Amino acid sequence: MKDIIEGFLKFQRDAFPKRVELFRELANQQAPRALFISCSDSRLVPELVTQREPGDLFVIRNAGNIVPSYGPEPGGVSASVEYAVAALRVTDIVICGHSDCGAMTAIATCKCLDHMPAVGSWLRYADSARVVNEARQHKSPVERVQAMVRENVIAQLANIKTHPSVRLALEEGRLSLHGWVYDIETGSIDALDGTTHTFVSLADHPRVRATPARLAAAA
């Protein structure tokens, strides 16, 4: 905790004064351009990876970068998605998985989670990804986990489309969806190409997105 407090003091002393005008502008309003949904893993920091300043990203973080399908009793993720799309009117949503994900590793390796019932219940929202991944052949346990991470990003993109605010924004052509997988060791990102349904290097294909062409045509 001492390091965290010292970090705050350094922020207050060095970083804040350099951005005083920015924070003055943000004091009473926000207008983020994108909703970024990522895992809670401490090794993935959305603002660092994307080099964004405060106010640029509306961020949701949870175990496994999961977005439950919309239902009669929406929870915190659903409320945050709705606020970002309907109130803040973000133009892009990124669902970002990452390498060596503990949640996806537990699913891919059928690890017992009886001692963490809340985690086990939460990860059921990745069941569709698990079923698809289990039906495929993998050359190694590592490849099985890597594939699970990608299948989960695809599954959560499908889930978020069930949210009324997202569906409306897609129909109106004012929202694009993106599916990313961040590699911790190399700092690279693979992005889902909605046309070919494959993951490609974001560095090589910076304009790629997961939104089907017919829904993004007006974007």
Residues 80-109 have pLDDT tens digits of 999 999 999 999 999 999 999 999 999 999
- What is the extent of the structural domain holding 136? 32-212
C-alpha span between 37 and 111 (Å, rounded): 25
Same domain? 90 vs 17: no
Domain count, the chain: 2
Same domain? 23 vs 67: no
pLDDT of residue 129: 97
Same domain? 43 vs 20: no
**Of 124, 212, 202, whose CA–CA distance to 176 is shortest?**
212
pTM of the model: 0.92
C-alpha span between 94 and 217 (Å, rounded): 18
Asked if residue 216 has pLDDT above 60, the reply is: no
Please tell me whether residue 131 adopts helix, strand or coil conformation. helix
Asked if residue 74 has pLDDT above 90, the reply is: no
Same domain? 13 vs 120: no
Q: In sequence order, which residues have a C-beta less than 8 Å from that of residue 54 and are 6 or more positions away?
A: 19, 22, 23, 26, 47
Tokens read off for 136:
């495929």
